[in-house]
Chains A and B, each alone.
Chain A
Amino acid sequence: MKFVILTGENIKTLIVFFLSLALGFVVSRLPLPGLGEAGRITLGIFTTAALLWVLEPFPLYVTSFVIVILEVIFLAREGGPLGLSGNQYTIFLNPFFDSVVVLFLGGFVMARAVKRYGLDERISRGIMRRVGVKPSIVLLGMMVTTAFLSLWISNTATTALMVAVAIPIIKRFPDGEPFRHALILGIPFASNIGGIGTPIGTPPNAIAMGILNQMHRDINFIDWMIRGIPVVVILTALCWIMLCRIFPPRIHRIEMELDEEEPMDRKSKFILVVFSLVVLLWLTSPYHGIPAAVVALIPLVVFFGLRLLGGDDLNDLGWGILFIIGGGMSLGIAMRESGLSQWIVGLIPFAGMNKIAILFIFAVAAAVMTTFISNSATANLLLPIVVGVTAVSAETSAVVVALAASAAMILPISTPPNAIAYGSGLIDVRTMMKGGSVITLISIVVIVLFIYLLF
């Protein structure tokens, strides 16, 4: 069989890849005052990573491996600028099995079991059966269901499920009814917002936790939820109000036909019990002392051990996302060890600036970046820098940036949930921008004020 590597697409990939490497090399040779050799090399790696994450010549996780290769060859070699020797280069590999990566893996396994046995569908239909006939309440029901599911399941999977539930409902509205836009936009927006609530909700949360853990500024599962859940509740409510105002319903009643609820089988009940137990153990981690990452291994052992999940499920877990988190944390180590983070922070005139102003700058930067590139890439590039700013605590900066990285509501390319909703053909880019820009602005204000005032 003839295997052709140099297809048109791959040639484009190679050109972008080598140009990114070349630009990174040029940046690493610039005589930047105050930045040592290790810092300059890391700046070159950072530049290459940023270009690859923005231009996406290949899947985002490939960039994570490029980062590690460059770090080990140029920074961690014997006699290299970081002064590492022997197998000390593994500091750049360790993040790929860091405790937050294991935590996320456990979350993926639980989500997989929930989806495989249709529990997510059961929950969504269960809630939608009880929301009545008033259009605005139907929208609220959809958004609450979406936000709740995306606390535990990926934002993309939640959106795909809920759009499938919503389409038959939306089609019952007459053509030209503005509220159709609210219904289809409410799902990706609630999904992006819901991901904020738990450490396993979306990758930026895990990246923030990982970087803080590396700095020995531990933030545990319950700590995250104390910050995240109120933001989810406030933003979901505000988003619902805004969508109802921007796209007001003209009709007052919508009939929904949802299938009758079937009794739950034993396997589904068992999965629900394990799921609840794991969440309980996560929330009570400070009391029983079992680290959240170790608790995350329980669903792996139980679901795969009892063959409730099989080899296909293992292959299809979100390994790529785990590698993106690992790559970001590996880049964070290089930026800290080489002094690059401090050097970049030193360039920005933070002295004398109000704390809240600094947090607004971070949140706006994250929201702007995440509008055009993935939220994980945004977190990977911004978090190592913001945690170095001494005017604000590292925890506060990291949480604000991680949460704001989910405020990606403006364009279809901003997040996979937006792209899925856009793909329904029920909204155009202008409509998404109209609703999304308002929600993004509200998100930035709520995130900064809530985290600043209460933590």
Chain B
Amino acid sequence: MAHKHCKETARLEHCEHCGSTEMKNNMYFCKGENIKVYVECAKCGRYVTRYTLSGYTSNKTYESLLRKFRFLSINSGKRTKQTVESFGKEVEQEFGHVRDLIRTQEDERRIEEIIETDYREGLD
């Protein structure tokens, strides 16, 4: 991802209790509210963390993009066409890049520490 001009890091989610990296995502939907994901340790069944979704991109990227467009206010056909054409590829590339980062230089800090140090606004 040559276009990224930020300090980047990546970390696999770990269960605080048993250290497992196998997780189950329990998704919660309530009409009118943001979707929440309650992450459960697949090994010991305990609560690990909760994510609040601002977007959702599945492997069907065009369908995901359609959902995104429903909530975006855009006015430029040129930019929309660029987004439509590049979105799927970008997501795939990003996924590969993040996986490589974790394999080669995974951040050893706890996720809270990374968020509090680098992304203070990221905690809800």
Contact = CB atoms under 8 A, between A and B. Distances in A.
B109 interface: no
B63 interface: yes
User: Chain B interface: which size bin?
Assistant: 20 to 34
B75 A268 contact: no
B73 A1 contact: no
Interface string A408-429: 1001111110111011110000
B63 A267 contact: no
A413 B78 contact: yes
A161 B78 CA distance: 20
A420 B84 contact: yes
Contacts, number: 111
B56 interface: no
Most chain A CB within 10 A, of B31, B65, B74, is at B74
Interface string B41-78: 00000000000001000000011011111111111111
A87 interface: no
Interface in A347-406: 374-376
A203 B67 CA distance: 22
Contacts of A117: 31-32
A420 B80 contact: yes
Contact of A423 (B7, B34, B85, B118): B85
A437 to B, nearest CB: 16
Contact of B31 (A159, A268, A416, A423): A268
A149 to B, nearest CB: 11
A164 B66 contact: yes
Contact of A422 (B69, B71, B84): B84
A141 B84 CA distance: 26
B71 A416 contact: no
Contacts of A424: 62
B123 interface: no
A308 B84 contact: no
B7 A2 contact: yes
Contact of B75 (A3, A7, A416): A416
A427 to B, nearest CB: 13
A203 to B, nearest CB: 7
Contacts of B3: 7, 9
B84 A60 contact: no
A260 to B, nearest CB: 17
Interface stretch (A37-45, A176-184, A311-319, A333-341): A311-319
B70 A3 contact: no
A264 B122 CA distance: 34
Nearest to B52: A312
B6 interface: yes
A146 interface: no
B77 A418 contact: yes
Contact of B69 (A160, A167, A267, A412): A160
A312 to B, nearest CB: 7
Contacts of A116: 31-32
A242 interface: no
B107 to A, nearest CB: 15
A9 to B, nearest CB: 8
A418 B118 CA distance: 40
B99 to A, nearest CB: 23
Contacts of A316: 71-73
A3 B7 CA distance: 9
Contact of A419 (B63, B67, B70, B80): B80
Most chain A CB within 10 A, of B70, B77, B79, B118, is at B77
Contact of B81 (A157, A159, A160, A419): A419
B31 A118 contact: yes
Interface string A1-39: 111100101000000000000000000000000000000
Given A1-B6, A423-B81, 18 more contacts: A9-B3, A56-B76, A56-B78, A59-B76, A115-B70, A159-B69, A160-B69, A161-B70, A268-B31, A308-B32, A312-B54, A316-B71, A320-B73, A374-B75, A374-B77, A412-B77, A418-B77, A422-B84
Interface of A: 1-4, 7, 9, 56, 59-60, 108, 112, 115-118, 120, 154, 156-157, 159-161, 163-164, 167, 203, 265, 267-268, 308, 312, 316-321, 324, 374-376, 408, 411-416, 418-420, 422-425
> A-B pairs with the 5 shortest C-beta distances?
A318-B73, A423-B84, A160-B69, A419-B80, A4-B5
24 contacts: A2-B5, A56-B78, A59-B76, A60-B76, A108-B73, A156-B80, A157-B70, A203-B75, A268-B31, A308-B32, A312-B54, A316-B71, A316-B72, A318-B73, A321-B73, A375-B75, A376-B75, A413-B77, A416-B74, A416-B75, A419-B77, A419-B81, A422-B84, A424-B62
